[in-house]
Structure 1
């Protein structure tokens, strides 16, 4: 069995609502979602991901994107680590930056792009953020230029998507409303008076994940928001519903690629 290779660095951008992470990893990331809009560049190797438009592949030089709340996963194409840099921007901040130029409701139409100009802008923006002393003015200017290029070329209004069956929608609502509370299959199935088997099958078809996996995703996203709000890791773990801090740390690492401690330190 080969040893897993994984390195991740989280950077403070100096601007509210903008985060940056650099990862080199041969890990497979489970299906999950982010609260933010993500855009980045593959630096080395190849990356395969399931997305809302199906399976996609990206290689060195390609731009990769994800919309807020979009379910996706990730695994290496070759049997070696792939490396990428990713920027995550809060949706409210994004809407504030773009509202004068683009429709208020806009998303990135494609999860993988071959655009050398955009890749170059993203690389320069990341370099500004990763500098020993980031210049907030330079970061903001390059960010706006990069986002305008991205959304002017690849932005689109969200297409209407069929919602999940009502019994799945009720289960989703319960898990999203109270991720910190314990849940059971019997409880979720009972919300719509379906069997546990029906719930499992319908939930997986609608979301690509099991109810338990989806609950862990929601808990990790809640923990991330709590950490950003200043909670200590142990406090965030308890409020998000994890058994203890170590359980949260493992789930956080699997989903975001960085530890809660490193994420919290990047916000200081």
Structure 2
């Protein structure tokens, strides 16, 4: 990343990076910076993120700015800026750097621009932090792309977006729904599902969201857990169920099942089977 060293001199400072192998033009970054002072630098893409704790001071467009806890950072591409800690304990923050072409592909709206580099909006900042954490943890390409779309939807109200023609009537996605049901155990990609619908990837994602009020990944997880419920009711062991529906392991099944149904797979199965 331009302007950000891969190794920081002070042991108090820590920074990590992650690229999505399947999605070019997108880089994730998270850091706790105490002593390091970033020299003037730029990024090819938009820098979007949130401050979790502490305060950052930086110079941007010729003015000094402070980014306090629970604030959203919204940087435009190619803007020279600095960065250093304003508070003794430094600051924790998460960012995503997304190139304009990738931004336009995801949103279907070229020409985004931000006037305010810092927005103090605790509710949005906390959701941005949670989204960036989820993106960092995402290992399935479809999950990553769905989360990326949700993140950009969170910050869209703060952006200037040129008016554009309507996408038209939402497409119908029965073949995609059938495809999801038929491939629960596979690591699906957005491109793959879009090809089933006969649309470009993020046009498909936007239309799917409009019609179903959920991303394809959310729909896939709902189908996976519904199938898991059916298999558990049939007496199948949770570990085998997890593998059959495409979840990482039994622990993943337990967490996902409890979030949706309020109980663990084992308790659900024992209750049904009278054990």
Asked whether the 8 Å contact 1:67–1:107 carries over to 2, the reply is yes
Note if contact 1:44-1:60 (Cα within 8 Å) is conserved in structure 2.
yes
Query: For 1:25-174, what aligned pairs fall within 5 Å after superposition?
Result: 25-26=33-34, 27-52=36-61, 54-99=63-108, 102=109, 104-131=110-137, 134-155=139-160
> What's the secondary structure of 1:121's corresponding residue?
helix
1:8 to 7, 15, 20: 15
Q: Shift of the alpha carbon at 1:53?
A: 6.2
Asked if structure 2 preserves the Cα contact closer than 8 Å seen for 1:128 and 1:135, the reply is: no
**What is the distance in 2 between the residues matched to 1:84 and 1:49?**
14
RMSD after superposition: 2.1
Q: C-alpha deviations, 1:120-178, integer Å up to 9, x for none?
A: 332232222322x5232222122212212312333357xxxxxxxxxxxxxxxxxxxxx
Aligned to 2:142, the other structure's residue is in SS state helix
Aligned runs of 1:201-220 on 2, under 5 Å?
Answer: none
The CA distance in 1 between the partners of 2:144 and 2:60, in whole Å, is 29
| CA shift digits 1:64-96 (9 cap, x unpaired) | 121110111111112332111111111111122
Larger Rg: 2
Q: Which runs of 4+ in 1 moved over 6 A?
A: none
Would you say the 8 A contact 2:33–2:84 is kept in 1? no
Unaligned runs of 5+ in 2: 1-9, 163-275
Query: Which of 1 and 2 has higher RCO (CA within 8 Å, sep 6+)?
Result: 1
For residues 126 and 144 of structure 2, the distance between their equivalents in structure 1, rounded to whole angstroms, comes to: 14
